[in-house]
């Protein structure tokens, strides 16, 4: 499908150009030769090096104006179109092509009508956010994120598992009590997407003003201000790294407690909607929803680890990151399950079970990789990995002290054992295994390529994220990260890439 391919290329190209400036290490300088330190346990120290400074990028009409503008126009439109398409009796790309050929104006009118915000969607989102806020206030042990380039260190109450248990429980009990049907998320999906879209665009404008100390608002920390690339790019990229509103961390609340929670419950709600329409359970939809639910339980167990990931510590809260979580995640991450409500997958229980088993293995290995790194960090490298003392590299880095304005020296440990000794981003391989299994569970024979869009998008996203992460780590850790790359020569797929 040309629209899907064009969007993927746009996302990839735009992300490459708009990532925070970093010095890319030439692949020709990498020497992935075996190291004796890989065969013995312990911590290898890397000689300190002067901190590298990223060269400021110049304003580019293409990178900082045209591409962000294109993305901010096409992605909201795409979300509205997919919301309309998955409400059709046959949600396939052929249906979309036929409607467009019959009359683009009529199609646009139908799409807008099906995604127009209404009062019921407003009540749904208000109740959804209100419950999330109540659970957010539950106290928990304080965990910290990495120190930012300007010396800020975010703190988080570790209460994600309370949210993971209580929110789905309240959602199901409310349906059982007759307050709403369990299919409520599907029943009001179009209006919800419309409201999230318009509300998300306005919310990003508020965050833009906050990061620039406008409208009587002030940034929540030192990592704020204009990028120097113009209003449009600042709105797209964001003007603050760790914004808070009323003591609520915006990134954590939007990314985890809204978007990931919606995704978690969507499969349950869509399965209920399918059952009410067809009078039976669809194997593909039920097992896809179950696999995603398990994956997202894993996510909330690992939420503090996510708050230390590149999504949080590098990307500012703007259209790219915040609108993406508010609108793109509920719209696109649920596309494959949503497409099965009107048109069942057509899979038998054994066929769906086989695909489900492969996807579940991907979820399990993804969880193990994330857990290895999280325990390694929290124990200062003392936790065993695969029953052995882990191999680690001690890396030195520098950040600006917000009080003195001087560079302060810090050290960190790079894990070279377990899955992190197999590939530098092995967790992405397992996440992609799960994602492709979810698309296949929708039944390619009945739905065509549409349910595979999320998996294709995620492949582009994670490959590029791995590149961005390595640029950031090379800039931050210098020789220590070059040593890690020599010891673990593969990015994602061992012996392939």
> Which range among 31-40, 356-365, 447-456, 471-480 shows the weakest confidence by mean pLDDT?
31-40
Q: What is the pLDDT of residue 127?
A: 98
**What's the length of the chain?**
497
What average pLDDT does the segment 253-267 reach? 98
Residue 301, helix vs strand vs coil = helix
* Dist. CA 461–CA 332, nearest whole Å: 13
**DSSP characters over 104-125:** HHHHHHHHHHHT---HHHHHHH
Q: Which two tokens stand for residue 496?
A: 């392939």
Say what the pTM is.
0.85
- Which band of pLDDT confidence, cut at 50, 70 and 90, is reported for residue 45? low
What's the whole-number mean pLDDT along residues 80-93?
97
Pairwise pLDDT comparison (405 vs 411), residue with the higher score: 411
Task: Find, among 229, 293, 194, the residue nearest to 238 by Cα.
Answer: 229
Picking from 65, 240, 229, the residue whose alpha carbon sits closest to that of residue 150 is: 240
Q: What is the rounded CA–CA span in Å between residue 141 and residue 159?
A: 8
Closest CA to 223 of 295, 154, 150: 150
Q: For the segment 426-437, what is each residue's pLDDT rounded down to a tens digit?
A: 999 999 999 999
Residue-level pLDDT at 270? 98
Give residues with Cβ within 8 angstroms of 255, minimum separation 6.
306, 311, 312, 321, 325
Q: What pLDDT score does 378 carry?
A: 86
Residue 142: HSE in the Cβ half-sphere, 13 Å Cα cutoff: 4
- Give tens-digit pLDDT for 282-295: 999 999 999 999 99
Give the Cα-Cα-Cα angle 280, 270, 370 (nearest 5 degrees): 120
SS3 143: strand
Comparing 12-16, 45-49, 193-197, the range with the smallest average pLDDT is 12-16
pLDDT, one tens digit per residue, over 200-211 is 999 999 999 999
Query: In 3D, which of 348, 359, 244, 228 has the Cα closest to residue 292?
Result: 359
H/E run at residue 363: helix 349-378
- CB 399, CB 419: distance < 8 Å: no
Per-residue model confidence as pLDDT tens digits over 366-399 = 999 989 998 998 898 999 999 999 999 999 988 8
Does 53 or 205 have the greater pLDDT score?
Answer: 205
Strand, coil or helix: what is 398?
A: strand
Residue 293 DSSP one-character state: H
């Amino acid at each position: 499908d040309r629209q899907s391919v064009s969007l993927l290329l746009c996302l990839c190209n735009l992300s490459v150009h708009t990532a925070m400036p970093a010095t890319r290490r030439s692949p020709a300088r990498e020497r992935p030769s075996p190291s004796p330190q890989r065969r013995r346990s312990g911590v290898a120290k890397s000689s300190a090096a002067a901190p590298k400074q990223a060269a400021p990028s110049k304003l580019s009409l293409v990178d900082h104006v045209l591409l962000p503008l294109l993305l901010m126009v096409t992605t909201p439109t795409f979300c509205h179109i997919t919301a309309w398409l998955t409400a059709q009796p046959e949600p396939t790309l052929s249906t979309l092509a036929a409607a467009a050929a019959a009359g683009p104006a009529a199609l646009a009118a139908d799409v807008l009508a099906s995604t127009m915000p209404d009062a019921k969607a407003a009540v749904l989102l208000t109740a959804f956010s209100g419950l999330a806020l109540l659970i957010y206030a539950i106290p928990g042990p304080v965990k910290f994120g990495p120190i930012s380039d300007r010396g800020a260190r975010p703190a988080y109450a570790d209460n994600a598992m309370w949210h993971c248990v209580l929110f789905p429980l309240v959602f199901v009990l409310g349906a059982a009590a007759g307050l709403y049907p369990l299919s409520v998320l599907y029943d009001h999906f179009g209006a919800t997407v419309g409201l999230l879209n318009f509300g998300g665009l306005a919310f990003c404008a508020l965050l833009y003003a906050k990061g620039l100390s406008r409208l009587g608002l002030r940034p929540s920390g030192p990592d704020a201000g204009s990028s120097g690339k113009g209003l449009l790019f600042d709105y797209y990229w964001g003007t603050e790294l760790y914004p808070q509103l009323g003591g609520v961390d915006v990134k954590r609340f939007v990314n985890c407690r809204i978007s990931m929670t919606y995704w978690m419950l969507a499969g349950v709600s869509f399965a209920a909607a399918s059952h009410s329409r067809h009078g039976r359970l669809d194997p593909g939809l039920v097992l896809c929803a179950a696999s995603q639910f398990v994956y997202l339980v894993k996510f909330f167990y690992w939420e503090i680890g996510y708050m230390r990931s590149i999504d949080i510590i590098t990307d500012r809260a703007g259209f790219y990151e915040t609108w993406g979580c508010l609108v793109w995640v509920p719209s696109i991450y649920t596309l494959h399950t949503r497409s099965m409500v009107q048109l069942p997958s057509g899979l038998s229980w054994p066929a769906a079970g086989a695909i489900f088993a492969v996807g579940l293995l991907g979820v399990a290995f993804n969880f193990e990789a994330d857990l290895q790194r999280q325990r390694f960090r929290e124990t200062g490298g003392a936790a065993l990995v695969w029953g052995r003392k882990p191999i680690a590299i001690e890396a030195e880095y520098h950040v600006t002290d917000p009080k003195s304005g001087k560079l302060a020296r810090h050290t960190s440990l790079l894990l070279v054992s377990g899955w992190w000794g197999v590939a530098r981003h092995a967790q992405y391989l397992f996440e992609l295994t799960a994602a492709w299994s979810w698309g296949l569970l929708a039944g390619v024979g009945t739905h065509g390529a549409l349910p595979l869009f999320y998996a294709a998008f995620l492949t582009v996203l994670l490959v590029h994220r791995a590149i961005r992460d390595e640029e950031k780590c090379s800039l931050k850790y210098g020789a220590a990260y070059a040593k890690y790359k020599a010891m673990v020569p593969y990015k994602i797929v061992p012996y392939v890439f």
